[in-house]
Amino acid sequence: MAPSRDRRPGFSRRAQYGLFVTYVLGIAGAVVGAALLALSTVNPAGFAALRSGVAELTAPASGGIAVVVRGIASVPQAIGGWIDVHGENARLKARMDRAAGALMTGRAAVIENARLRRLLAFRERDEGVVATARIVSTSASSTRRYGLLNAGRWQGVEEGQPVRGPEGLIGRVLEAGPNTARVLLVTDPESVVPVRRLRDGRAALVAGRGDGLVDVRTIDTADGQFRPGDVYVTTGVGGIYTPGVAVAIGTARGTDSAAAQPFARPDSLDVAMVSRQYFAPPPPAPAPSPAPSPSPSPSAAP
């Protein structure tokens, strides 16, 4: 008689060992999770140090995985570009032939501009930048939004410093290790940034939603009508963020709050800049009031 297919694990020594290892790993995982939960409750500073150490160890692997993912994502685009390269080349040649005069004028303007820049010793420099680094990973699969920056205290990065990209504000440094730093993104529910609306200067708050978008919330009841296309920039109120940095653009209408899309997307950024915290200049000292002129005494009258 053929053996039954529904044999229990007890008939196979390999199945018994596999089941035993599964139980051991499950129990070990539960014990480690309970220990980490207890550590985060009893000693938050120690838990933060442990988490920073783990981030230090995993940063090289995260950077390598990010490079591989970017390489794989660029394969379809490279294939499509290779397929269209012949037609695109012909179109570009025809366009260059039609615009030969404009092209020569543009080249002359570029050369002249470069000459004037050298004569004037023109340099664009931001003295507030502390470090320029890469965001090697982000927590896109969680309701909390963090980014891991490939720079830390050894590069001058400290807690509370703002982080921005070429497009706009990314967030602020939450924890800084020796060579890595954890960034609280503007899309995190715990992030609140004071902003103003460009079209009328109305003050508002940008708060994270945890889903890749932000909410723009009114501060007062006057003109709380939010519209799609409204641009919001930092105000510098409360410090930390330098005024005038782009934060988000409105995507929906609302009265008290409305959804908006951040300008900077950490998952597609290659380089991020860490700046010093902004401190508003002190108010000007009041001008001294003129001393009153003495009134003549009655005895001096004739």
Residue pLDDT, tens place only, 253-280? 888 888 999 988 777 777 788 988 887 6
State the pLDDT confidence band at 291, using cuts at 50, 70 and 90. Answer: low
Torsion sign across C-alpha atoms 153, 163, 136, 28: positive
Based on the domain organization, do 136 and 35 belong to the same domain? no
Q: Which residues of 201-216 are buried (b: 16+ CB within 10 A; e: fewer)?
A: ebebbbbbbbeeebbb
Based on the domain organization, do 188 and 239 belong to the same domain? yes
Based on the domain organization, do 158 and 247 belong to the same domain? yes
Residue 5 pLDDT > 60, yes or no?
Answer: no
| Farthest CA pair distance, the chain | 146
Based on the domain organization, do 90 and 33 belong to the same domain? no
| pTM, 2 dp | 0.59
**What is the predicted pLDDT for the residue at 173?**
92
Based on the domain organization, do 146 and 263 belong to the same domain? yes
The answer to whether residue 164 is domain-embedded is yes
**Residues forming beta bridges with residue 275, ordered by sequence position:** 129
The answer to whether residue 54 is domain-embedded is no
Least confident range of 80-89, 129-138, 236-245: 80-89
Based on the domain organization, do 223 and 163 belong to the same domain? yes
Q: CA 106, 107, 112 angle in degrees (round to 5)? A: 95
Number of Cβ within a 10 Å radius of residue 257: 16
Based on the domain organization, do 181 and 97 belong to the same domain? no
Question: Which residues lie below 8 Å from residue 15, measured CB to CB, with a gap of 6+?
Answer: 9
Nearest to 233 by CA among 283, 168, 162: 168
The answer to whether residue 285 is domain-embedded is no
- Crossing angle of helices 13-42 and 44-98, in 10° steps, is 100
Based on the domain organization, do 67 and 163 belong to the same domain? no
**Residue pLDDT, tens place only, 226-243:** 889 889 999 888 888 888
Question: Which residues lie below 8 Å from residue 10, measured CB to CB, with a gap of 6+?
Answer: 16
Question: Which residues lie below 8 Å from residue 115, measured CB to CB, with a gap of 6+?
Answer: none
Based on the domain organization, do 204 and 100 belong to the same domain? no
| Domain limits for position 144 | 129-275
State the pLDDT confidence band at 136, using cuts at 50, 70 and 90. Answer: confident
State the pLDDT confidence band at 112, using cuts at 50, 70 and 90. Answer: low
Tokens of 246: 């782009």
Based on the domain organization, do 141 and 213 belong to the same domain? yes
Based on the domain organization, do 154 and 231 belong to the same domain? yes
Length of the chain: 302
Least confident range of 54-58, 62-66, 111-115, 229-233: 111-115
Q: What is the mean pLDDT of residues 22-34?
A: 83
The answer to whether residue 214 is domain-embedded is yes
Q: What is the mean pLDDT of residues 27-51?
A: 78
Least confident range of 1-15, 157-171, 206-220: 1-15
Q: What is the mean pLDDT of the chain?
A: 77
Task: Return the higher-pLDDT residue of 93 and 113.
Answer: 93
**What is the predicted pLDDT for the residue at 295?**
61
Contact 148, 173 (CB under 8 A): no
Report percent pLDDT > 90 for the chain: 11
The CATH number given to whatever domain includes residue 196 is 2.40.10.340
Based on the domain organization, do 68 and 172 belong to the same domain? no
Question: Which residues lie below 8 Å from residue 167, measured CB to CB, with a gap of 6+?
Answer: 246, 263, 264, 265
Task: Return the higher-pLDDT residue of 156 and 285.
Answer: 156
The answer to whether residue 199 is domain-embedded is yes
State the pLDDT confidence band at 121, using cuts at 50, 70 and 90. Answer: very low
Residue 247 pLDDT > 80, yes or no?
Answer: yes
Nearest to 109 by CA among 97, 121, 117: 117
The answer to whether residue 178 is domain-embedded is yes
Q: What is the mean pLDDT of residues 176-182?
A: 90
Alpha carbon 271 to chain centroid, angstroms:
10
**What is the predicted pLDDT for the residue at 220?**
74
Q: How many domains does the chain have?
A: 3
Task: Return the higher-pLDDT residue of 22 and 57.
Answer: 22
Residue 153 pLDDT > 80, yes or no?
Answer: yes
The answer to whether residue 142 is domain-embedded is yes
